[in-house]
Amino acid sequence: MIYKEKKVLLRNGKTVVLKSPSEDDWKAMTDYIRCVASETPYILRAPEECNDTEESEKAFIRRYNESELECMIAVFDGETVVGNCNLNVKNRKKVRHRAELGIGLCKSHYRLGIGTTLITELSIIARNEGCTQFELQYVDGNYRAKGLYEKCGFVEVGRMPNGVRFDDGTYADDVNMRKIL
């Protein structure tokens, strides 16, 4: 599903562009995931696992752009991708009312209103697709993300104890949240 390009004015007075990435954006997208993976332990990909090839990243982008039930929005600051989110609507009849959200942002663009804007945009898309429930997971300890999700109306509905194992051998719960649309 293609998201129509939209300019967004940030709290710092700068403007970013939200849009579905094209296959030509593959390098900016791989640079972005390396950025996020190196800045936070709270995404599920370690920096050394960010080894997507041009072809694999183009295929990933193409899958989202051609899908009727998935949407990806990248945040462009000039030519640089600084954030990304995706929506995945469940495709079986009995769970078609549910959609999942994933989101990430480079630290350089924290606290500028981007996360709230992305969740709002995906909520609109999910509602337009007939969804009544929005779901996500985050790693316990990521209090910045938890605050954003709660501000956007998500509530905790369960946990997977020790769902994530960090490099130092410690564990954190995977926290499940949902929002009624």
Q: What is the pLDDT along the chain (181 residues), one digit of tens a residue?
A: 999 999 999 999 999 999 999 999 999 999 999 999 999 989 888 888 888 999 999 999 999 999 999 999 999 999 999 999 999 999 999 999 999 999 999 999 999 999 999 999 999 999 999 999 999 999 999 999 999 999 999 999 999 999 999 999 999 999 999 999 9
- Which pLDDT score is estimated for 47? 85
**Which among 29, 159, 11, 48 is positioned nearest to 104, based on CA atoms?**
29
Kindly list the distances between the CA atom of residue 112 and the CA atoms of 4, 33, 105, 115, 153, in Å, as whole numbers in the listed order.
21, 19, 11, 8, 19
Task: Report CA Rg, the chain.
Answer: 16
Which tokens is 105 given? 């942002």
Which tokens is 44 given? 């599920």
Alpha carbons 169 and 85: distance in angstroms, whole number: 29
- Which pLDDT score is estimated for 9? 95
Type of residue at 80? T
- Which pLDDT score is estimated for 91? 92
Alpha carbons 81 and 58: distance in angstroms, whole number: 15
- Which pLDDT score is estimated for 65? 96
Phi, psi (5° rounding) for residue 37? -65, -30
- Which pLDDT score is estimated for 44? 86
Alpha carbons 133 and 152: distance in angstroms, whole number: 13
What domains are there in the chain, each with its CATH number?
A: 6-180 (3.40.630.30)
Burial of residue 101 (number of CB atoms within 10 Å: 0-12, 13-18, 19+):
buried
